[in-house]
Amino acid sequence: MKEGPDIAYIAALIGDPARANMLTALMSGKALTVSELAEEAGVTIQTASSHLSRMDDGGLLRHRKQGRHKYFALATDDVAHVLEGLMGLAAGAGHLRKRTGPKDEKLRKARVCYNHLAGDMGTRLYDSLMAQGYVALKGEIVTLTDQGAAFVTSFGIDLDALVRKKAPLCRECLDWSERRPHLAGSLGRAFLSRFEALSWARRDQKSRAVLFSPGGDAEFTRLFPFPG
Amino acid sequence: MKEGPDIAYIAALIGDPARANMLTALMSGKALTVSELAEEAGVTIQTASSHLSRMDDGGLLRHRKQGRHKYFALATDDVAHVLEGLMGLAAGAGHLRKRTGPKDEKLRKARVCYNHLAGDMGTRLYDSLMAQGYVALKGEIVTLTDQGAAFVTSFGIDLDALVRKKAPLCRECLDWSERRPHLAGSLGRAFLSRFEALSWARRDQKSRAVLFSPGGDAEFTRLFPFPG
DNA sequence: TTCATGGTTCGACCGTAGTCGAAACATGCA
DNA sequence: TGCATGTTTCGACTACGGTCGAACCATGAA
């Protein structure tokens, strides 16, 4: 009857609690097995299997078979982007699944958004890179400046390796807790990896939280000062 | 059990066909009455009323009572943004509600995205403004340059009036058909209004399509040339 | 006041889709 | 080959929620 894409189909796919739990778990960026996702969603393996194949068909997920395991991950960054947007709407409407607690506090400070850093520290990183002239918006695309390239390399990121990949280097991603953009793309991912390699931060095993050590926090603030 | 916002609640709200139809209709940016939306969704007025109040509670809509009419609109630009993202996923997965036809062609060329111009011409406008240095990305925000301000004013847009409003002047919005950003925000809205005022284009009454006249198309291309 | 129109509430019906148990299938290991 | 583990398929149950008819409420016009 109507024109345009069938948004109800996709939204309904996301709109089931069990599936939403799995998708949220996959926002960690890690590929997870059917059993792990069943556990996350609080549902038996059979139902999880059914849900996962439907989301796969719907283009939300991609999978990789490895021996007798089947690993699922979000299909694209776009999917993660939409999920983050939905989180923003849900948070804005005051529909948190759990009232704000200590865990929530950590998530707002720093967390993994698919594969890059989000939350307060994510937006601070982005703002600081902008303010120092390391990244700039050229045309519709966020680009790394010459100074930025030098900085990134000196920071220990193998820029050439990133450039060789097809994936876009820089992208904006809207943060649900800060309601401002932060850095995504392969560079965003590289920054997070580098923070972990330097032992500035480590990922919480049980949630999306990224835990900075006191020393790491200090180094981070030194290198990425507030723009104002 | 899980941390974070309840995305299933919001997604399920969008995921019902009747509600999705109403939301899609509201992407035109026009405020519509209960009866009109019932018509759009192909459902009786009672059920429409129920759906609308639920979406209102969920923060997706806002409403305004006017006499015995009740007008509904999307609550914020963020909602429109997420809907556009969902359309992108649905289109990417090949789930169009109707197979591509002549109407679809027009939508891809130029359409209304909430209140601003989207589709091929929307992204062309944005790219051209960027390339000519009229807008630039400063920090995390898209800003109008001094030259841009002069241009906009000379084009007949009352910039002072826009600035006086609280709403952000420029924003990016991701286009589902082009898969690239275009200009949103109050300036995006103002451009579309100006195109209509100049009779370069008019809105299709029955769809989200924006129909450019041959003359309007030529003027548009002259003023907003391809960046390449 | 009376009437017409737009919207809401109530109650009942019904179908879809989420759920799980059981059994089959697949893969790796000994 | 046999066994253990991971995943899928099948079938049946159930409940949640979308739907509508009917009656009720609200507003504006005559």
| Cα separation, A211 vs A214, whole angstroms | 10
For B151-178, what is each residue's pLDDT tens digit? 989 988 888 887 776 566 766 665 656 5
> What is the pairing mode between strands A210-212 and B171-174?
unpaired
Q: Quick count: other Cβ atoms within 10 Å of Cβ B156? A: 10
Q: What is the pLDDT of residue A215?
A: 76
| Cα separation, B69 vs A199, whole angstroms | 61
Separation between the CA of B81 and the C1’ of C12 (whole angstroms):
39
Top-confidence residue, A218 or B8:
B8
Which of B77, B180, B4 lies closest to A23, judged by CA?
B4
* Cβ atoms of residues A150 and A158 within 8 Å: no
Of the segments A25-39, A41-55, A158-172, B117-131, which one has the largest average pLDDT value? A41-55
Cα angle at B220 between B219 and B226, to 5 degrees? 120
* Cβ atoms of residues B36 and B6 within 8 Å: no
Would you place residue A55 in the very low, low, confident or very high pLDDT band (cuts 50, 70, 90)?
A: very high
DSSP A86-151: HHHHHHHTT-BSS---HHHHHHHHSEEETTEEESHHHHHHHHHHHHTTSEEEETTEEEE-HHHHHH
> What is the pairing mode between strands A141-144 and A61-66?
unpaired
Would you place residue A138 in the very low, low, confident or very high pLDDT band (cuts 50, 70, 90)?
A: low
With pLDDT > 90 as the criterion, what percentage of chain B qualifies?
22
In the three-class reduction of DSSP (H, G, I as helix; E, B as strand; rest coil), residue A45 is classed as helix
Q: Helical H runs in B74-213?
A: 77-92, 102-109, 120-131, 146-154, 159-164, 185-197
Q: Which residue of B has its CA nearest to A9?
A: B15
Lowest mean pLDDT among B110-114, B120-124, B216-220: B110-114
Q: What is the pLDDT of residue A140?
A: 46
Q: What is the pLDDT of residue B47?
A: 92
Cα angle at A71 between A66 and A72, to 5 degrees? 150
Residues of B in contact with A95 (CB under 8 A): 5-6, 9-10, 58-59
Top-confidence residue, B52 or B187:
B52
Is the pLDDT confidence value at A111 over 50?
yes
Q: Which residues pair with A135 in a beta bridge?
A: A144
* Cβ atoms of residues B186 and B167 within 8 Å: yes
Lowest mean pLDDT among A94-108, A160-174, B52-66, B87-101: A94-108
Given the structure tokens 């990121």, which residue do they identify?
Answer: A157
Sequence-separated (6 or more) residues with CB below 8 Å from residue B169: B143, B144, B162, B163, B185, B186, B187
> How close A80 comes to chain B (CA, Å)?
10
Q: What is the pLDDT of residue A98?
A: 42
Q: In this complex, do B139 and A123 lie within 8 Å of one another by their Cβ atoms? A: no
Is the pLDDT confidence value at A185 over 90?
no
Q: Helical H runs in chain A?
A: 7-14, 17-26, 34-41, 45-57, 77-92, 102-109, 120-131, 146-154, 159-164, 185-197, 214-223
Is the pLDDT confidence value at A1 over 50?
no
Q: What is the CATH number of domain A7-75?
A: 1.10.10.10
Of the segments A48-57, A201-210, B159-168, which one has the largest average pLDDT value? A48-57
**Sequence ranges of chain A with CATH classification 1.10.10.10:** 7-75
Q: B86 phi and psi, to 5 degrees?
A: -65, -40
For B47-106, what is each residue's pLDDT tens digit? 999 999 999 999 999 988 877 788 899 998 889 999 999 998 998 766 554 433 334 556
| Cα separation, B58 vs B79, whole angstroms | 11
Q: Work out the mean pLDDT of chain A and round it to a whole number.
A: 80
Q: In this complex, do A96 and B6 lie within 8 Å of one another by their Cβ atoms? A: yes
Q: What is the pLDDT of residue B118?
A: 80
Would you place residue A177 in the very low, low, confident or very high pLDDT band (cuts 50, 70, 90)?
A: low
- Nearest nucleotide, CA B47 to C1': D19
Is the pLDDT confidence value at A109 over 60?
yes
Q: Which residue of B has its CA nearest to A136?
A: B137
Is the pLDDT confidence value at A196 over 90?
no
Q: In this complex, do B3 and A104 lie within 8 Å of one another by their Cβ atoms? A: yes
Q: Give the type of residue at A12.
A: A
Which of A40, A42, A38, A39 lies closest to A52, judged by CA?
A38
What are the tokens at A167? 């994936």
Burial letters A69-106, b for 16+ CB under 10 A, else e: ebbbbbbbbbbbbbbbbbbbbbbbbebbbeeeeebbeb
Give me the residue from A12, A90, A103 closest to B6, CB to CB.
Answer: A90
Q: In this complex, do A40 and B81 lie within 8 Å of one another by their Cβ atoms? A: no
Average pLDDT on B38-46 reads 87
Top-confidence residue, A116 or B21:
B21
Within residues 118-157 of protein chain A, the ones with CB less than 7 A from nucleic strand C are: none
Please report the ipTM that was assigned to this predicted complex.
0.65
Give me the residue from B89, B97, B181 closest to A78, CB to CB.
Answer: B89
